[in-house]
Amino acid sequence: MWRRHIKEAWDYKCAYCGEYGDTIDHVHPQTFGGRDELPNMICCCSDCNTAKSHDEVEIWYFQQDFFNQDRWNKIEQWRDNRAPAQRKRYIRGREGIPTKCIVL
């Protein structure tokens, strides 16, 4: 369920290259202490997941020809658990938490 949730939050696009994302990547690799937590897991294509392997994202991604500052900003937002409002609404809605309220 978490895998599908993450892919849907990223619109099934690889966070790194923007192609179709069919896997989940640990931004901070598990081999270096990365955890199985939402801010550390992003949608990723098989090619990028294989190429990144256990490399630190800051080292690997900045060396790629397809590096994109906007995508990097989204990755950083996600890692900081500051997902854009649309993602927050999606997450809240999926968890049964109201997405809107009326202030009296």
* Three-state SS at 24: strand
Q: What is the pLDDT of residues 1-22, one digit of tens each?
A: 789 999 999 999 999 999 999 9
Task: Identify the pLDDT of residue 94.
Answer: 55
CB 14 within 8 A of CB 28: no
Q: What is the pLDDT of residues 54-95, one digit of tens each?
A: 999 999 999 999 999 999 999 999 999 855 554 454 455 555
What average pLDDT does the segment 15-33 reach? Answer: 96
pTM over 0.85: no
d(CA 72, CA 92): 24
- The CATH code for residues 2-94 is 1.10.30
